[in-house]
Amino acid sequence: MRHLSSGRKLNRNSSSRIALARAQATALFRHGRIKTTITKAKNLQPFVEKLITTARRGDLHSRRLIARDIQDRVVQRKLMDEIGPRYVSRPGGYTRIYRLGTRRGDAVQEAFIELVNDEA
């Protein structure tokens, strides 16, 4: 039974899973949308949403918490100054996953994961 064992292993060890999530989150914050597999997108979604919720506070402590996971200074600044304040009035659900077709090489399901535009 899988009680209290959440998350997906993605055929990687724990440090590689963390590195993958950090790299994909950095790319998502940089570009606004990335193309990946559905499994990786579902694994990335709660990681990104927690970072955005932390960035919404906008204080020094949240800036340091984000710096643990996002190594790129430009992306850190963008997350704290643009992305976080954009979702202050939104109570969660900052990302959206669009399912695409299957990849030609290995027939895995692909998806876009993108930040929700919330200018309202």
Q: Give me the average pLDDT of each 10-residue run along the chain (120 residues).
A: 85 95 98 96 96 96 97 97 94 96 95 84
What is the model's pTM? Answer: 0.92
- CB distance 85 to 58 below 8 Å: yes
Structural domain span for residue 97: 14-115
In a domain, 96, yes or no: yes
In a domain, 1, yes or no: no
115: left (phi over 0), alpha (psi -120 to 50) or beta: beta
The CATH number for 45's domain is 3.90.1030.10
Structural tokens at position 68:
């643990």
Closest CA to 75 of 27, 24, 17, 20: 27
pLDDT > 90 in the chain, percent: 90
pLDDT at 119: 59
Total count of domains within the chain: 1
